[in-house]
Amino acid sequence: MAEILDTFFNIEILLRVLPFILEGLGMTLLLCAITVPIGLAGGLAVAWVWSLKKRYVNWALVVYVDFFRAFPPLVLLIFVYFGLPFVGVDLSPFAAVAIAFLLNASSYYGEIFRAGIESVPHGQWEAARASGLSRFQTMRYVVLPQATRNVLPDLIGNTLEVVKLTTIASVVALGELLHAARLAQSLVYNPTPIVAAALIYLALLWPAVRLLRHFEHRHLVAR
């Protein structure tokens, strides 16, 4: 037992690599603070354009959404960062992550918002438009608040996925948590840094999962 602890949770090693790990955590949080809003904004844009119900535009939108939901995000990021320089587009790691997450996360968020908007009865549009609100105001003040509430569990669930997905930023050498932990592990020849990173991810995501369950439960009860 002591041996196992010594291997997987060596306090001495932990203390040595902790500053390193915390720096990685900082980068992960920064990445979340970038990718989640970018994904939400992209998703809202997708859902807004879809709501205009222009047939050909919506066909294109379906292709866009399906394509990027089918495209593995890791492959997408590698393509954006290592592939685009061959056509002269040289991106910083941050820009590459932002673009890859915009394309990937906006497709998922877009689908969720679209379903939410569709769940709002047409009469809501009619009442708002009849009182003189513009299409945009109707979306913003009347439809979107209801839509968001209706798909809140899906939004939280997808946000969890986006947070987990920030680990792929390590392939473009952004020193996020996983990247820092692996580097530390290779320096100390001990898996403790990885275990520490895993525990931090759990601590980060566990409350969100509990929150999600709370909302899912409420949805079930409300039905």
Partner 1 sequence: MTSAEAVPPAPILELVALHKNFGPLKVLDGIDLAVRPRELVFVIGPSGSGKSTLLRCCNRLEEPDSGAVIVDGADIMRPGTDLNAVRQKIGMVFQSFNLYPHMTALGNVTLALRKVQGLARDAAEARGRAALAQVGLADKENSYPNALSGGQQQRVGIARALALGPKIVLFDEPTSALDPELVGSVLAVMRELKAAGMTMVVVSHELAFARAAADRVVFMEGGRIVEQGSPEAIFGNPREARTRAFVSRLSQGHG
Our CB check for partner 1 shows the closer of 137 and 167 to be 137
Q: Which amino acid is at 114?
A: R
Using rule CB under 8 A, residue 127 touches partner 1: yes
Contact mark string toward partner 1, 82..121, x via CB under 8 A: ---------------------------------------x
Find the farthest-apart pair of alpha carbons in the chain and give their distance in angstroms, rounded: 73
Using rule CB under 8 A, residue 141 touches partner 1: yes
3-state helix, strand, coil in the chain (%, to 5): 85, 0, 15
- How far is the C-alpha of 177 from the C-alpha of 166, rounded, in Å? 9
Residue with tokens 């986006």: 162
User: Which residues from 148-167 bind partner 1, rule CB under 8 A?
Assistant: 149
Our CB check for partner 1 shows the closer of 164 and 219 to be 219
- With CA atoms as reference, report the closest residue to 76 among 48, 35, 111, 128: 35
DSSP 94-107: HHHHHHHHHHHHHH
Using rule CB under 8 A, residue 123 touches partner 1: yes
Report, in Å, the least distance between residue 125 CB and partner 1. Answer: 9
Q: Binding residues for partner 1, per CB under 8 A?
A: 121, 123-124, 126-134, 137, 141-142, 145-146, 149
